[in-house]
Copies of this chain bind each other. A is one copy, B any other.
Amino acid sequence: MREVDRVSALRDTVQRWRCESQSIGFVATMGYLHAGHLSLVERARSENDRVVMSIFVNPTQFGPAEDLERYPRDLERDRRLAEQSGVDILFAPTVETMYPGGAESQQVWVDPGPLAAHMCGASRPGHFRGVVTVVSKLFHMVQPDRAYFGQKDGQQALIITRMARDLSFPVDVRIAPTVREPDGLALSSRNVFLSPDERAEAVVLSRSLQLTREAMSVGERDAHHLETMMRAFITETAPSARIDYVTVADLDSLQPIDGDIVGDALVALAVFFGSTRLIDNLMVRRLEDGLRFS
Contact = CB atoms under 8 A, between A and B. Distances in A.
Interface of A: 7, 11, 15, 18-19, 98, 100, 106-115, 132-133, 136-137, 140-141, 143, 159, 162-163, 165-170, 253
Nearest to A19: B19
A165 B100 contact: yes
Contact of A111 (B100, B109, B115, B137): B109
B113 A159 contact: no
Given A19-B18, A137-B168, A114 B110 contact: no
Given A18-B19, A19-B19, A166 B106 contact: yes
A136 B111 CA distance: 13
Contacts of A113: 107-109
A140 B168 CA distance: 6
Total copies of this chain within the assembly: 2
Contact of A132 (B108, B115, B133, B162): B108
B11 A137 contact: no
24 contacts: A11-B170, A15-B18, A98-B168, A100-B165, A107-B162, A107-B166, A108-B112, A108-B113, A108-B159, A108-B162, A108-B163, A108-B166, A109-B111, A109-B166, A110-B110, A110-B111, A111-B111, A133-B167, A136-B168, A137-B167, A140-B169, A140-B170, A141-B168, A141-B170
A71 B133 CA distance: 33
A19 B16 CA distance: 8
A105 to B, nearest CB: 8
B114 A107 contact: yes
Contact of A167 (B7, B18, B140): B140
A170 B15 CA distance: 12
Given A107-B115, A108-B113, 10 more contacts: A107-B166, A108-B110, A108-B111, A108-B132, A108-B167, A109-B111, A109-B113, A140-B167, A140-B168, A143-B170
Nearest to A168: B137
Contacts of A141: 168, 170
A46 to B, nearest CB: 24
Nearest to A20: B19
Contacts of A19: 18-19
A115 B162 CA distance: 25
A18 B18 CA distance: 10
